[in-house]
């Protein structure tokens, strides 16, 4: 394919070979390419796509030459003899050297060389090359496209053309080299090695194109993930607003009801005080009237009248015993307790709803967990499928293993050093157990110290009803129902270990702000035998 001039319009250039079109064809998306270039790009590919805009096609298009564009290109190139056109493959284009070599035999104005002769070790213009086409002896010489660095094509040791390739030493050699240092080596003609490399180049190009497609697909996946994350965020924001709106509405309702009750109680107290004061004022009026009568009677000179009135005035006035009567200055806290009770119910309902949402989010990180018999204490009995473990009555004969625990516990086979994982364990009927995750270097000999500082993030059940999160300090849950099925979620990068009560779909406890530097393994402690010899079971996540 001829080289285009510097002023060549880009619209007449193939975007694959960057040269003027040869037999231009048009893809369904409207872009033009050389027919050979496009067919080479689509060799050994399952999915055809436009090399320019990357649009993929469900089936390979039936390409036909764009005759109008071809005539425009031919007119531009000044090529009037279409029959003399020479078609080159994409590999041949890659081998063409954009050389500025000049003829070694021009005396005055040097002409641009057309060919270089490896035998003569010289470059020739079209005029001085003529003998190589005519003279029989010269016809046998090896000609190549003109190059400036002709010495690179000549063996520096024997000054002969580098016509062979030594596959043992991976270097180009001449015929004389095969009689010396490369005598018994595997040598092949350079053309044969070049054709092999060209085939490999085509495969490499195919691989590169596939890598481009894979990365474009990955970009689409990332963009889709971002869009999906955005939609999920909007949904979570909406749900969060709804949750907090319900909580605020409930608080305001309880507050309004509480204030109304307290106001009604205050009015009732004021009405009571008003009635008592009226009654007291009436008694004061009656007592004042009697006091006046007594005063008058004490100054009378009518002895008969005094004796007659004395009996009626001497009797105790009919009044209330006010020493036992008082106003309560303390506010009745019963309405406040009722309001707080209602708020607790609302909070519990919202918390359950929130926990269910959180549980649904972590369950999608479920992993398949299997118990590791090499870590199990000799008294532990494992099922054949590695999903169940219980405490046996007798010590089993097991081989010595540095990974085996002296304490009655064991780990899972699977360890995790990044990302998130979740698993579920059923402990129905057990009166004691421990559960969580442990770092790989946890001390396995002697008693285990259940704390994050010692590499164990766990919860345990003791006394049949008391759950304890083994944090620092430990956190007890004495008043909650004993969970019989627990989910464990770990976010390695976030330093989070969370426990969920699956029966009530509620969150139990989380270790937060932890720093993980080792592989983490699910940890199980089935406890000693219960009366019914209950079993700790790794459950499939539904």
Q: Is pLDDT at 360 greater than 80 in this prediction?
A: no
Cα(53)–Cα(31) distance, rounded to whole angstroms? 8
The pTM assigned to this predicted structure is 0.47
What sign does the dihedral 420-427-467-396 (CA atoms) show?
negative
216-225 pLDDT, tens digit per residue, is: 999 999 999 9
Using the structure block, give the residue that is written with the tokens 């779909």: 505
Give φ, ψ of 172 to 5 degrees: -85, 140
Q: Is the dihedral of CA 138, 142, 144, 146 positive or negative?
A: negative
Instruction: Kindly state the greatest CA–CA separation across the chain.
Output: 185
pLDDT the model gives residue 356: 58
Q: What is the CA radius of gyration of the chain?
A: 49
Structure tokens at 538: 């790794």
Q: Is the pLDDT of residue 42 over 70?
A: yes
pLDDT in tens, 484-540: 899 999 999 999 999 998 888 888 899 999 999 999 999 999 887 554 566 899 999
Provide the angle, in degrees to the nearest 10, between the axes of the packed helices 190-298 and 334-363: 170
Task: Summarize the confidence of residues 32-36 as an average pLDDT.
Answer: 87
> What's the pLDDT at 349?
67
Residue 286 phi/psi, 5° resolution? Answer: -65, -40
How far from 449 is each of 218, 234, 470, 476, CA to CA, in Å? 46, 44, 9, 17
Q: For the stretch 274-284, what's the b/e string if a residue is b when 16 or more beta carbons lie within 10 angstroms of its beta carbon? A: eeeeeeeeeee
Tell me: pLDDT of 426 over 70: yes
Q: What tens digit of pLDDT does each residue of 83-135 get?
A: 233 333 333 443 444 447 899 888 878 889 999 998 888 899 998 999 998 88
Long-range residue pairs from 184-189, CB within 8 A, at least 24 positions apart, any chain:
188/164, 189/163, 189/164, 189/165
H/E run at residue 457? strand 456-462
**In angstroms, rounded to a whole number, what is the distance separating the alpha carbons of residues 357 and 537?**
25
On average, the pLDDT of the chain sits at 84
Tokens of 273: 């005080």
Across 163-185, average pLDDT = 91
């Amino acid at each position: 394919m001829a080289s285009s001039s510097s002023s060549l319009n880009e619209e007449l250039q193939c975007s694959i070979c960057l040269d003027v079109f040869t037999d231009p064809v048009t893809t369904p998306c409207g872009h033009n390419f050389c027919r050979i270039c496009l067919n080479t790009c689509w060799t050994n590919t399952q999915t055809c796509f436009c090399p320019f805009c990357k649009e993929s096609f469900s089936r390979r298009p039936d390409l036909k030459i764009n005759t109008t564009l071809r005539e425009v290109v031919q007119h531009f190139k000044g090529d009037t003899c279409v029959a003399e056109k020479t078609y080159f493959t994409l590999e041949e284009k890659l081998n063409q050297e954009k050389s500025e070599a000049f003829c070694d035999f021009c005396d005055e104005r040097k002409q641009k060389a057309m060919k270089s002769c490896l035998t003569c070790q010289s470059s020739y213009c079209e005029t001085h090359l003529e003998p190589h086409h005519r003279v029989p002896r010269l016809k046998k010489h090896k000609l190549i496209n003109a190059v400036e660095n002709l010495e690179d094509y000549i063996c520096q040791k024997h000054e002969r053309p580098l016509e062979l390739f030594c596959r043992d030493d991976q270097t180009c050699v001449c015929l004389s080299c095969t009689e010396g240092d490369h005598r018994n080596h595997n040598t092949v003609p350079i053309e044969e090695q070049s054709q092999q490399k060209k085939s490999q180049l085509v495969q490499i190009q195919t691989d590169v194109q596939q890598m481009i497609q894979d990365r474009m697909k990955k970009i689409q996946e990332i963009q889709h993930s971002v869009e999906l994350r955005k939609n999920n965020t909007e949904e979570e924001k909406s749900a969060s607003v709804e949750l907090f709106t319900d909580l605020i509405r409930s608080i305001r309702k309880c507050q309004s009801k509480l204030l109304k009750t307290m106001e009604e109680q205050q009015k009732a107290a004021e009405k009571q005080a008003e009635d008592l004061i009226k009654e007291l004022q009436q008694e004061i009026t009656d007592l004042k009237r009697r006091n006046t009568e007594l005063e008058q009677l004490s100054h009378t000179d009518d002895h008969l009248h005094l004796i007659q009135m004395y009996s009626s005035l001497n009797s105790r006035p009919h009044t209330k015993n006010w020493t036992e009567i008082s106003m309560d200055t303390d506010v009745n806290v019963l309405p406040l307790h009722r309001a707080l009770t209602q708020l607790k119910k609302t909070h519990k309902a919202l918390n359950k709803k929130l926990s269910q949402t959180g549980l649904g989010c972590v369950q999608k990180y479920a992993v398949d967990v299997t118990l590791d018999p090499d870590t199990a204490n000799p008294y532990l009995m494992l099922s054949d499928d590695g999903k169940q473990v219980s405490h046996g009555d007798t010590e089993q004969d097991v081989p010595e293993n540095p990974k085996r625990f002296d304490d009655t516990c064991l780990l899972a086979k699977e360890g995790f050093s990044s990302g998130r994982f979740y698993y579920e364990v059923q402990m129905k009927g057990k009166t004691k157990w421990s559960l969580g995750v442990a770092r790989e270097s946890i001390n396995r000999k002697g008693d285990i110290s259940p704390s994050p500082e010692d590499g164990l993030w766990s919860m345990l059940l003791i006394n049949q009803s008391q759950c304890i999160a083994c944090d620092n300090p430990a956190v007890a849950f004495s008043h909650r129902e004993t969970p019989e099925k627990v989910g464990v979620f770990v976010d390695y990068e976030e330093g989070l270990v969370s426990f969920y009560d699956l029966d009530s779909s509620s969150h139990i406890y989380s270790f937060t702000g932890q720093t993980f530097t080792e592989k983490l393994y699910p940890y199980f402690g089935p406890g000693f035998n219960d009366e019914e010899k209950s079993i700790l079971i790794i459950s499939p996540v539904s």
